[in-house]
Amino acid sequence: MPVLHGRAGELGVITAALAAVGRGRGGTIVVAGAPGSGRTALLAEAVARAPGHGVTPLTELPVEPSDRPATLVLDLAERLATPEPRLLVIDDLQARSGATLHVLRALARRLAGSAILWLVASDARPASPDARATLSALAEAGTELTLGPLPLDAMRALLGDLVGPFDETTATLAERCGGDPGLLVALIDALRADGALRTSAGVTALAGGFSSDRVRGLVDVRLAQLSADARATLAAAATLPPRFRADELARTLRRPPAALWGPVAELTAAALLVDRNGPLEFRQTVLRAVLAGAPADADAGASVIPRPIREAYWRFDWEQVLLGLDVELDRAPDESRGLLGAHRALLYGVVGWAEAALTETAAALAEKRDRGDEFAARCWQKVRFRLLWDAGRLTEARHHPAPAPGELSPGESGSDDPGDVIDVAVLDAAGRLALRSGDRDAYRRAVARAGELEAKGHSPYRLVRAWLTALSTDDPRAALGLAATGDLFARTDVPAGIAFDPADQPRFVRLALAAGARRDASRAVEVAEQRAGRNPRFTLLAAAAAHARGLLEDDPARLLAAAALYRETSRRLDLAAAWEDAARRGADPARLDAAAALLEQAGVRRPRVAGSGQPLTAAERQVVELIVAGVPNREVAERLHCSPHTVNARLRRAFVKLGVHSRVELLQLAADDGI
């Protein structure tokens, strides 16, 4: 029997009830949930466990004589009239005839106190009045278990049962089914039928899309439970952008907004729509695709960005992405234009144009506020926060009133929709800002928030959590293991929903080298150079590639070349990092001072690191004392009768022993503590 995932709590209740009936105490458990939620699987598990508690399961009801309910009562009563403990399993209560429902209510009263565990499964909201009455009567007499959406880890475990080991792209199928295990099973069946699953080296990967008609049957069963009003509302919602407001839905249906309160409440209660503090979206993006009559492609998290643009983004063809966004902005409807523009501004920051994007963002933010468009204003406000980080304007970012990540779009869909990407980028920047500010509490909150959103079904937050943790981990091997999550630095594409920063590539190389993983570092350098080659217009990618190569080859000249390229972008923090890396590999130590000054200007708060604890040699102390006294390097060399290179080497060793990064910090140390 397949493993039942994500229902440990419900199984615990049923197992305790089986143990009780085995001791002679009966009871009733009603399992309510939507079709595909796992009701039948839960009942099957109960049947399998019953003998272990000395309980005999009865799973087949007699044939239903609709004209002679008394006969059915007697038949069932005879089968249950035994002193041995019994488990009476009734699945799909909502589909039973009126006669059977009448019998079940009568028997429940007649056999009260017997050693029988009634285990009944039904839709949460049966259409039949008889079914609702029976469900209510049984629930009052016992315990009701409501099966909600499965958590993401359980959906992934189920996906593993269905297809075996799978890659990251295939993993998004679990997210796009929004916690609905039946929908995931139907989706996998459809993909197999259409030949869209491929297995290579034991790992399953997606190789295309599938026809939405193949999962239509399950969708129709779900819709049959809804009122006609709710079905019409859901169908209209599928024609709107992935996130929409109630007033947009009302305009589509040509109804007043107040008339939609009932159907929207019904759809959210049925876990088909999710309310994002104003905006609405489908919980299962596969369902949205089926209702829209579109092919439910492998990237079924529907987006306001056309597929060709998204594909260009995934393969790092960012010139085509920006051109495509420009075209779409000219022809997009009003409800999509603001989000598209915000996404373009976000991408400007990614490619090193953060300062220019900040100017555009200020104008857009003012316009949205003037128009009273709070949703779009929050979106642009978040983008501005990320751009301030990208531009190295940390002091402004710390004082920026950005909404909490997840307020705009917590992103259970797993899509690469702009709202999702913006939220991912904001949380990533918030965590990094906290690290650069020495604010451990804010950093822990960012990591915890990433974990919460990951648990709700959005895989990009898993990468954010892993990367933020890696950046603060002292153990190089542990840090490398975290940073390698999703193979983001070794692949030439971008996973859906990721707000990727090209300048993270040299950071990964630094981690890999510290962990002794030169092969991983070499692969990351190759990928950085391939990405730069695809995007010659964007200097930041060339700078990141040169920086990564310089770290790999321990080449100060290449690192200085990377710094020169960074200076053509808006990336102050990355420029400072290249200067520091070059100086520590033999370049002019004055670069350390330049880096420290740049970081101070940016608003970085660098905690002083612990020194090595080793005492300074006499020669090192001489150099330090002269530097603290304000003597230039060349004059220090003349006074000590050595070369400037020797002075630089002694100064670098002294920095390590004292736990400082630059002359500025050395002077501060001397002023605070003496040397």
**Residue 264 near residue 300, CB atoms below 8 Å:** no
Q: Which residues of 387-447 form beta strands (DSSP E)?
A: none
* Domain end call among 87, 122, 147: 147
Q: 3-state DSSP call for residue 308?
A: helix
CATH number where 297 lies: 1.10.10
Question: CB-based burial of residue 534 (10 Å sphere; 0-12 exposed, 13-18 middle, 19+ buried)?
Answer: middle
Going from the C-alpha of 560 to that of each of 527, 543, 567, the distances in angstroms are: 21, 10, 11
The answer to whether residues 407 and 391 belong to one domain is yes
- At residue 413, the pLDDT reads 32
Collapsing DSSP to helix, strand or coil, 522 comes out as helix
Residues 275 and 177 in one domain: yes
C-alpha dist (Å) from residue 377 to 370, 371, 381, 409, 422: 10, 9, 6, 14, 13
Q: Which domain holds residue 517?
A: 502-607
Other C-beta atoms lying within 10 Å of the C-beta of residue 453? 25
| Identity of residue 213 | D
Cα–Cα distance between 503 and 583 in angstroms, integer?
A: 19
Does the residue 526 lie in any domain? yes
201 and 255 inside one domain: yes
User: What pLDDT is recorded for position 668?
Assistant: 61
My answer on whether 156 and 219 are in the same domain is: yes
d(CA 122, CA 271): 16
Same domain, 332 and 458: yes
Q: Is 191 part of any domain?
A: yes
The alpha carbon of 200 is separated from its chain's Cα centroid by a whole number of angstroms, namely: 26
pLDDT digit string, tens, across residues 480-532: 888 877 667 877 666 555 667 899 999 999 888 888 889 999 999 999 999 99
Contact 88, 58 (CB under 8 A): yes
Alpha-carbon distance of 483 to 470, in angstroms, equals 6
Q: Is residue 268 part of a domain?
A: yes
Give the SS3 label for residue 620: helix
Query: Domain holding 624: CATH number?
Result: 1.10.10.10
**Residues in the chain, overall count:** 675
Q: Look at strands 203-206 and 56-58 and give their pairing.
A: unpaired
Identify the DSSP state of 194: T
pTM above 0.75, yes or no: no
> Is residue 3 included in any domain, yes or no?
no
Strand partners, 499: none
| Domain end point (choices 473, 491, 526) | 473
Same domain, 136 and 255: no
Task: Give a three-class secondary structure readout of 321-372.
Answer: HHHHHHHHHHHCCHHHHHHHHHHHHHHHHHCCCHHHHHHHHHHHHHHHHHCC
Q: Does one domain contain both 157 and 136?
A: no
- 460-471 and 440-455 helices cross at what angle (nearest 10)? 150
Q: If DSSP codes are grouped into helix, strand and coil, which group holds residue 119?
A: strand
Q: What is the CATH number of the domain that holds 61?
A: 3.40.50.300
Question: Residue 148: what residue type?
Answer: G
Using the 8-state DSSP alphabet, how is residue 407 labeled? S
pLDDT at 295: 42
Contact between 243 and 311 (Cβ < 8 Å):
no
Taking the CB of residue 66, how many other CB atoms lie within 10 A of it?
A: 11
Is residue 540 in some structural domain? yes
Residue 100 corresponds to which amino acid?
A: T
CB 590 within 8 A of CB 624: no
What is the residue whose two structure tokens read 């629930």? 139
Cβ(376)–Cβ(278) under 8 Å?
A: no
The one-letter code for the residue type at 508 is F
Which DSSP category does 579 fall into?
H
In a domain, 495, yes or no: no
Domain end point (choices 434, 455, 473): 473
For the chain, list residues with pLDDT below 70.
Answer: 1-3, 59-82, 127, 207-218, 292-305, 307, 311, 334-335, 402-420, 456-459, 486-487, 492-499, 606-613, 661-665, 667-675
Identity at 433, one-letter amino acid code: L
Does some domain include residue 69? yes
Question: How crowded is residue 208: how many other Cβ atoms within 10 Å of its Cβ?
Answer: 13
CA 459 to chain centroid, in Å, comes to 3
Locate the DSSP E strands across 123-225: 143-147, 197-200, 203-206
User: Is the domain of 439 the same as that of 414?
Assistant: yes
- In the beta sheet, which residues pair with residue 145? 31
Residues 559 and 539 in one domain: yes
How many domains does one find in the chain? 5
Same domain, 174 and 294: yes
Q: Which of 548, 558, 556 is closest to 520 using CA atoms?
A: 548
d(CA 26, CA 119): 11
Shared domain for 170 and 274, answered yes or no, is yes
- Say if 1 falls within a structural domain: no
Tokens of residue 529, six digits: 């150079």
- Judged by DSSP in three states, 398 sits in helix
What are the residues facing 246 on neighbouring strands? none
Q: Rounded distance, CA 159 to CA 674, Å?
A: 62
Of 525, 595, 528, 534, the closest CA to residue 560 belongs to 595
Task: Indicate if 516 and 535 belong to the same structural domain.
Answer: yes
Determine which helix (DSSP H) or strand (DSSP E) holds 58, and give its type and residue range: strand 56-58
CA–CA gap between residue 17 and residue 392 (Å, rounded) = 60
Q: For the purposes of burial, counting CB atoms within 10 Å of the CB of 83, is it exposed (0-12), middle (13-18) or buried (19 or more)? A: exposed
